[in-house]
Each structure stands twice: as structure tokens, then as C-alpha cells.
Amino acid sequence: MNWIPEQLAFSVAKQRPKDSNKGTFGRLLCICGSAGMAGAAMLCTGAALRCGTGLVDAALPESIYPIVASRLPEAVYTVYREDDFSPVLHSLRKASACVLGCGLSTAHPERVRNVLRACCDPLVLDADGLNCIAEDVSVLDTVSAPLVLTPHPGEMARLLHCSVEDVQADRVGAAASFAAEHKVILVLKGAGTLVAAPDGRLLKNPTGNPGMARGGSGDLLAGMIGAFLAQGIEPYTAAAAAVYLHGLAGDRCAARFSQQAMLPHDMLNELPRIFLRIENTRRI
């Protein structure tokens, strides 16, 4: 079993060309959040903003739009009515990558399937996006876009129709076989997150700690992967690098604030210091 190398993780923080503009760094659509889960949308969108994306578009139901927009002025917003999802499908055409599912709720599984079918660019499927397809995962085999799936063991168990204990008893088998069967990048989260590719490549994450075991940590990770995909980084590298850097942010927060008290929000605020260190290392 190989560990995710630091060098691979740091490689996603590319030098920004002097004459670059926001178009150079992609446009990410985050289809996340629902009434009661504005936080998931905020953490996912915030992470995407902090990971170098040129433009982040958060697609939100109108009930939570004011909450999220008041906290994240750098994002643009696709606001949709609860009974009309069509603006989101319109915004999808303009995006270079998409994150689908953090805090979305499972009230409209057909919307998740429609986005998957319509999407031509790389897409991260997380949380309720996964729960919405768990009953019948065959939709994955009809998708032409590169997919990165980010289940925690509970979501993985739903996808495989088995128990969490079954997943944890053979994490490598669960991740590798799902990735190969459905031709997706599969990120199986938890202590020692695994990143599996359809061609058999598999990496284990050396960073991270139990202080990250709290609501919101995974929403951050989805936004980070989406940010790297939007910037054109190939999906296996984007996923492995985000997993490593997310765990590194967690470790630095544990050292500053304790595993007991650290929050996903602290991890989000740690990202600038991590990228600064990478940029400074590059200059030496």
C-alpha cells in the first residue's frame, strides 16, 4: 500500500502565470445545501474559494441564499425556487467542474440523476448526492463525465447495500472494486482515507486525525476536490492531493486548537497558511 506523497499533494498549487485571469482557473458549480443545511453549502463553497478556483458558483435554494451569500461575497449564486431546478441545469453548462450533494437533502433524487446525465465536465458526488443514487447505482455507468465519489463508510455501505462493519472490514476491497466496476475515482473517507482509481491505482492518506470526526469536515473536502478539478487537474491527482491537504489542515488545527475543540471552519482558515508554505517552498 502506497501513501499519498507530499510532492503530489503540493503539485496542485500551480504557479499562477503573470498574465492569467479568473478564466484561467476554472469555474466550479457547487450544488449543495438545503433548508437546515446551509452550513454544508458554506463550507464546500468556502473551501473551493480558498483552493484557487477562478470563479465559484453556488447553486442554492432561495431559503438559504441570504445566509450563505452574506458570509461568502466572492462567490456568485444560482438561486432556484424549491419547485424549479432548471436554473441549476443552465449554470451547469457554464461550469468547468461541479460538486453535487453536500447538504442537498434526498427530497429530489431525480435532480441528482438529471445533473449526472447532463454533466460533461468532472464532477464530485458527495453526501446526499450519493444517498440519492444508492438504491440504483447503475446511473453511474451512463455518465460520460469523469466522476469522483467521496463516501464515508456509512455512505459506502448504502452504495454497496451492506453494513458499515462490512465496509470497514475490507476498506481496500470496497474502494478498489467499486472504482473498477463503475469507472470512477472512489475516495473512501475515515482514518486513513483511501483513493482508488479504475485502473487499480490506490493510495492511502498519511494525514488527518480524529479531531476531524465532526459534522462539516467532509463538506470542506468535496469543495477542495472540486476546486482542483475546475482548474484542470486530472481527477485522481485532484482527489489524492485534496485528501492530503485536507488532512494536513486538520493536523495543523489540532496542534493549534486541540482535537477536542478544532472546527471544520478552523481547517478552512488554515488553507491560506498551507498554500503560503507551498508557494514559499517553491521560491527557494
Ligand X SMILES: NC(=O)C1=CN([C@@H]2O[C@H](COP(=O)(O)OP(=O)(O)OC[C@H]3O[C@@H](n4cnc5c(N)ncnc54)[C@H](O)[C@@H]3O)[C@@H](O)[C@H]2O)[C@@H](O)CC1
DSSP 238: H
103 belongs to the binding site for ligand X (CB under 6 A):
yes
Q: Sort residue 33 into left (φ over 0), alpha (ψ -120 to 50) or beta.
A: left
Q: Which residues in the 121-140 window bind Mg ion by CB under 5 A? A: 127
**What cell was used for 43?**
463550507
128 belongs to the binding site for ligand X (CB under 6 A):
yes
209 binds, among ligand ADP, Mg ion, ligand X, none (CB under 5 to 8 A by kind): ligand ADP
Task: State phi, psi for 39 to the nearest 5 degrees.
Answer: -60, -40
Compute how many other C-beta atoms are within 10 angstroms of the C-beta atom of residue 152: 20
Closest distance of CB 119 from ligand X, Å: 19
Judged by the rule CB under 6 A, the positions of this chain that interact with ligand ADP are 127, 152, 189-191, 193, 208-210, 212-213, 215-219, 221, 246
190 annotated among ligand-binding-site residues: yes
User: Of the candidates 26, 46, 61, 216, which one interacts with ligand X according to CB under 6 A?
Assistant: 216
User: What count of residues does the chain have?
Assistant: 284
Looking at the Cβ atoms of 57 and 126, the one nearer to Mg ion is 126
Name 185's Cβ contacts closer than 8 Å, sequence gap at least 6.
146, 147, 148, 149, 179, 195, 196, 197, 198, 235, 236, 239
User: Looking at 68-76, 105-113, 158-166, 210-218, which segment touches Mg ion (CB under 5 A)?
Assistant: 210-218
Closest distance of CB 213 from ligand ADP, Å: 3
Tell me the β-bridge partners of 84: 81
Distance separating alpha carbons of residues 226 and 235, to the nearest angstrom:
9
Distance separating alpha carbons of residues 69 and 124, to the nearest angstrom:
22
251 binds, among ligand X, Mg ion, ligand ADP, none (CB under 5 to 8 A by kind): none
Number of residues that bind Mg ion (CB under 5 A): 2
Site string (13-42) toward ligand X, x via CB under 6 A: ------------------------x-xx--
User: Of the candidates 33, 218, 226, 250, which one interacts with Mg ion according to CB under 5 A?
Assistant: 218
Looking at the Cβ atoms of 218 and 235, the one nearer to ligand ADP is 218
Distance separating alpha carbons of residues 66 and 252, to the nearest angstrom:
32
54 annotated among ligand-binding-site residues: no
Distance separating alpha carbons of residues 99 and 92, to the nearest angstrom:
10
Closest distance of CB 20 from ligand X, Å: 32
Distance separating alpha carbons of residues 31 and 202, to the nearest angstrom:
28
103 belongs to the binding site for Mg ion (CB under 5 A):
no
DSSP string, 101-150: -TT--SS-HHHHHHHHHH--S-EEE-HHHHHHHTT-GGGGGG--S-EEE-
Looking at the Cβ atoms of 192 and 232, the one nearer to ligand ADP is 192
Looking at the Cβ atoms of 39 and 218, the one nearer to Mg ion is 218
Interacting residue ranges for ligand X, rule: CB under 6 A: 37, 39-40, 102-104, 127-128, 152-155, 164, 190, 215-216, 218-219
User: Which residues line the annotated binding site for AMP?
Assistant: 189-193, 218
User: Which residues line the annotated binding site?
Assistant: 40, 103, 152, 189-193, 218-219
